[in-house]
Amino acid sequence: TCSLLRSPKGFPKLKNDTFLRAARGEETEHTPVWCMRQAGRYLPEFRETRASQDFFATCRSPKLCCELTLQPLRRFPLDAAIIFSDILVVPQALGMEVVMVPGKGPTFTEPLKEVEDLLKLRQKVDVTAELGYVFQAITLTRHSLEGKVPLIGFSGAPWTLMSYMIEGGGSTTMAKAKSWLYRHPEASHRLLRLLADVIIDYLVGQVAAGAQALQLFESHAGHLGPELFQDFALPYIRDIAQAVKSKLKEEALPLVPMIIFAKDAHYALRDLAHAGYEVVGLDWTIRPQEARAQMGKHVTLQGNLDPCALYAPKEKIGELVKKMLESFGTQRYIANLGHGLYPDMNPEHVGAFVEAVHAHSRHINKH
């Protein structure tokens, strides 16, 4: 199905809009469900498709991204697809080189070390020129989905991308990146602003290409305390939601629901609920009732089963899902894991998770 490059017009009619309705706070017959990293290495067909190609070369192939995005939907009755890509395509668009090192993960060949290094970054990014391959992948996938479920686009958030760009890869402490926040606050804001501007254009471009919802990943929020988050993460998270929405209006594009997922940001739930996103994603370390109490009724919550629960026997997964649904309530809620799927997970257990969400939420709604 992922053959022709097609235009972002005349998309097939959407048959299952449960995810979009839940995101907008409308009533749903069942609780919609999707999984972070649902297109991933836990699927043998994913490993097979990926085997011959460099990771970022795969990201740059609309045809392969389309195929990888569709794979989990052939197996499971998920309520949404998320485009296969990576958050680090944004630093690449700024002119940084990132390679995927086996056993180590993404690695920047020349991370930012000094404030002067900011001058090496592209100060004005034409997202269509630099990231058009993502837009093509979205358009192609949206056609190839044949209206089965909505397609989610995404980006990393500024602080998370900044931390990678300075650390040069993953880190347990983020000490290098955080030292910038303390030593070079002005330069940090310059970098975060540059990232935010690119992300805004990138997300708007994804909607123009056919994305029906957007998720912003602030994966490294947990490394910041309340003060640093308030100064260096939240203002940009807010600004991205506001600017994306006003640009979508200006360009007469659909106003799609937006999701913010800030991992380990328990200290900021109230702020995130008022940051301009329709949906707030939660990791597994938060009690659903507490999140609901703090965030009120005006946002949809998404999450938050511990990914490791999928190692449990299937009947246990069903019990945990039932408990989660009872805690969140079945409305204004999108079921998901509290983080992405791990490579060694059994696809059948993922299927058990998805089916349990549908079965238990239907049962609860009836009674």
Residues marked as catalytic:
37, 41, 50, 86, 164
Dist. CA 317–CA 311, nearest whole Å: 9
Nearest to 84 by CA among 111, 64, 113: 64
Dist. CA 294–CA 308, nearest whole Å: 26
Output helix, strand, coil percentages for the chain, rounded to the nearest 5.
50, 10, 35
- Which residue spans within 167-253 are E strands per DSSP? 213-218
Q: Are 34 and 19 in contact (CB under 8 A)?
A: yes
Q: Cα–Cα distances in Å, from 113 out to 69, 106, 116, 166, 228? A: 35, 17, 8, 6, 20
Query: Do strands 300-305 and 105-108 pair parallel, antiparallel, or not at all (unpaired)?
Result: unpaired
Beta bridge partners of 323: none
Q: Cα–Cα distances in Å, from 49 out to 1, 61, 69, 274? A: 15, 12, 11, 41
Q: Are 244 and 206 in contact (CB under 8 A)?
A: no
Dist. CA 138–CA 125, nearest whole Å: 20
Peptide bond preceding 304 in cis form (omega within 30 of 0): yes
